[in-house]
Amino acid sequence: MTPVDILMPRPMPPLVQEKLDAEFVVHKLFKAEDPEALLKEVGGKIRGVAAMGGKLDAAFLAKVPNAEIISSFGVGYDHINTGDCLAARVVVTHTPDVLTSEVADTALGLLLMTVRELGQAETWLRDGKWVSEGAYPLTQATLQGRRLGIFGLGRIGKAIAQRAEAFDLEIHYYGRNRQEDVDYPYHPTLKELAAACDTLMVVAPGGAATKHAVNAEVLEALGPEGILINIGRGTVVDEAALIAALEKGTIHGAGLDVFEDEPNVPEKLMQLPRVTLLPHVGSASQATRNAMGQLVVDNLKTWFETGKAVTPVPEMG
């Protein structure tokens, strides 16, 4: 069988590059001195795209008119215009499930760090303040007795809920639809969820539908004991409103693994005392990234061998 030509617009993990090189003719756009010239030369031959970030829409698809599939690295795919892909009959795949446990573990770790100020306490020790100033101040928040509201009860949201139950947290949720197979209380709006809870866990995907869904009104509803955790997408939270809420004491604290303009983090967020910040490490273990990379490869191989993808995004249903 003649090897299929695929395009890799951006660098991908070495495992992915090695396995794709072994199976396909891979045109690495990021290595080209003149990317547009390369696209003009090979665009018509491209039948698949191995993607890791970057805007992929009708304008991009016009340059690879015979593309059949975009295999994307990551569970989120808001950088891909699925409507444009559907119109062009291009299948889009992502890498769900294989990162669910890792992200859920990170979410609980971030929640614990934020509520008990564990990162700040470690800095206190490392800076020598335990010796010079004594014990770290008592934390004003505790995990005990908290009500956890989950915004986005999908695969990862359910895994977070399962872990949170072990900490005796009361679970509530909000999403596009009530889920009949769960017993947690459902709230018809995000504001109502925030009002019913004192801890809001954002697991929602990005995109226009969720942009700044967590706004000043939602934060006001969360209240002065409130803790916001975001391991979904940075665009879901209005960062300006969050900073204002933290400065005014509208909510107690926040833990963020994602940001609106990564890797740029607002200086004010870094200066606030009850904020824990992580550099988007939710799924960043070698084992999980290897599994995600393998799924990128498997989606491409399976498509060209059988005409079916392993993990198409829901819109492709």
**Which of the residues are catalytic?**
233, 262, 280
User: Residue 199: what are its φ and ψ, rounded to 5°?
Assistant: -140, 125
Query: Both tokens of residue 180?
Result: 């009949």
How is residue 251 written in tokens?
Answer: 């909510």
Structure tokens at 34: 């003149």
Kindly state the tokens that stand for 189: 């709006």
How far is residue 200 from each of residues 61, 76, 126, 261, 315, measured CA to CA in Å?
A: 38, 20, 30, 21, 27
Produce one character per residue of 45-70: b if its CB has 16 or more CB atoms within 10 Å, e if not. Answer: ebbbbbbbbeebeeebbebbeebbbb
Terminal C-alpha separation, the chain: 29
Distances (CA, A) of 250 to 51, 238, 242: 40, 14, 9
Q: 């995000």: which residue's tokens?
A: 190
Pairing of strands 147-151, 170-174: parallel
Q: How far is CA 120 from the centre of its chain?
A: 24
